[in-house]
């Protein structure tokens, strides 16, 4: 990047990486510096470590709305998702229930975990979505068979921001006696989610999406639900995830979860909605042949996604970075594949739209000035790139 100072930069890629809150770092720091013991150790330092681990577990459970004993700490959301899907599916297979129901717009970590199980005999049913990425709960119910061992549905889509009807799907899953896994990355703390009241049996989350440390996550598991562990060893985390716990990271996750819950109650999501809607209105008015993907309102409060005809996402992102705007083309986890988004295909985007997705995700430190910066710098870039490709507006 040339000619742009940090003060000029507008960071709108919070879904890709959320900066760790300084308040989280302040609580984590002593756990790196003070020589705290192993939580499994039977001495006083180990007891102190266990107390810190238990306190973090309580904070995460409070944000999830479930029993404290259900929280299992992991290395991040991807491990939590794999433990939920593979662990539950393999346990269900013992009861000859090898069928999994998921939607066509799930995160790639969900899809790949299910595809891997398919190689060893599992069968998959992908429930379609409408043009705004919504899943019809009735379609989920219709997909369930006597062989279904798991339903996996994301609470909100990370590429187009669409919120799903989790409560209705939870009711259907409970009625069928099938465990429901909800990928809550990006959604937890930003939409109503409570595992007990919504019938969720497994919920995966990432610390970094809560402004906590990367490389830390958790899976909430309904007490009594059996999982086949993926990590074998000393039996930590109730035998579901062996290995010495990342105590500084887990403590940071706990603080981040508590801050997320508190700030949501004090209007943070409403603030983000106001900024997001101003950004959406400005971009759609300033850029011809550009449209919103996902719904206008029933979406994540911090999330805006559009498709721009006549330009390629990689070119837009490079030019935006050069003028100090950090955005994305969708899921950071899928960026390395360099293939058109399965989510955009599922909602029926035209071929020329698949090349030009642009996603802005706002966060705790986003200001009105950041929105003004984006509105000032994006339209000229789109216009210039279209000139280079001789784009003809419709």
- Catalytic residue ranges: 333
Beta bridge partners of 156: 163
The secondary structure of the chain in percent helix, strand, coil, rounded to multiples of 5, reads 45, 15, 40
Q: How long a stretch of residues is the chain? A: 394
- DSSP E strand boundaries for the chain: 10-11, 71-74, 99-103, 123-127, 148-154, 180-183, 202-206, 217-221, 290-292, 303-308, 325-326, 357-361
Which of 157, 126, 158 has its CA nearest to residue 143? 126
User: What span, in angstroms and rounded, lies between the C-alpha atoms of 18 and 207?
Assistant: 9
Q: Could you tell me the two tokens for 239?
A: 């035998």
- Find out whether 10 and 327 touch, Cβ atoms under 8 Å: no
- Find out whether 100 and 150 touch, Cβ atoms under 8 Å: yes
DSSP 31-42: HHHS----TT-S
CB neighbour burial string for 191-220, b if at least 16 within 10 angstroms, e if fewer: bebebeebbbbbbbbbbbbbbbbbebbbbb
User: What span, in angstroms and rounded, lies between the C-alpha atoms of 376 and 383?
Assistant: 12
Phi-psi region of 35 (alpha: psi -120 to 50; beta: other; left: phi over 0): left
CB neighbour burial string for 277-295, b if at least 16 within 10 angstroms, e if fewer: eebbebbeeebbbbebbbb
Opening angle at CA 170, ends 168 and 173, nearest 5: 115
CB neighbour burial string for 152-170, b if at least 16 within 10 angstroms, e if fewer: bbbbbbbbbbbbbbbbbbb
């Amino acid at each position: 990047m040339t000619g742009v100072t940090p003060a000029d930069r507008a960071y709108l890629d919070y879904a890709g990486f959320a900066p760790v809150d300084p308040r989280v770092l302040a609580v984590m720091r002593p756990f790196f510096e003070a020589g705290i013991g192993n939580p499994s150790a039977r001495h006083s330092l180990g007891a102190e470590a266990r107390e810190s681990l238990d306190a973090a577990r309580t904070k995460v459970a409070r944000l999830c709305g479930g029993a404290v004993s259900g929280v299992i700490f992991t290395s991040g959301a991807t491990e939590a998702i794999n433990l939920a899907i593979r662990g539950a599916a393999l346990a269900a297979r013992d009861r000859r229930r090898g069928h999994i129901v998921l939607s066509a717009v799930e995160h790639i970590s969900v899809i790949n975990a299910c595809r891997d199980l398919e190689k060893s005999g599992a069968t998959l049913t992908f429930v379609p979505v409408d043009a705004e990425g919504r899943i019809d709960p009735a379609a989920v119910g219709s997909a369930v068979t006597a062989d279904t061992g798991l339903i996996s549905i994301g609470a909100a889509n990370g590429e187009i921001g669409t919120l799903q009807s989790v409560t209705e799907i939870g009711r259907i899953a409970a009625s069928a006696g099938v465990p429901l896994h909800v990928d809550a990355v990006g959604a937890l703390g930003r939409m109503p989610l409570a595992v007990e009241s919504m019938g969720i049996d497994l919920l995966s989350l990432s610390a970094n999406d809560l402004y906590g440390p990367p490389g830390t996550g958790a899976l909430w598991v309904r007490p009594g639900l059996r999982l086949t562990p993926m990590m074998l060893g000393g039996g930590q985390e109730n035998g579901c995830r062996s290995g010495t716990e990342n105590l500084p990271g887990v403590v940071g996750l706990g603080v981040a979860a508590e801050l997320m819950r508190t700030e949501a109650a004090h209007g943070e999501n409403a603030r983000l909605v106001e900024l997001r809607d101003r950004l959406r209105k400005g971009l759609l008015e300033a850029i011809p042949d550009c449209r919103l993907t996902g719904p206008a309102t029933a979406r994540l409060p911090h999330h805006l996604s559009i498709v721009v005809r006549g330009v390629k996402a990689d070119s837009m992102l490079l030019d935006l970075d050069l003028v100090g705007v950090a955005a994305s083309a969708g899921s950071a986890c899928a960026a390395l594949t360099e293939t058109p988004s399965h989510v955009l295909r599922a909602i029926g985007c035209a071929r020329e739209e698949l090349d030009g997705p642009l996603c802005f995700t706002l966060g705790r430190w986003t200001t009105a000035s950041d929105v003004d910066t984006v509105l000032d710098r994006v339209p000229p870039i789109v216009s210039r790139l279209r000139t280079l490709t001789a784009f003809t507006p419709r």
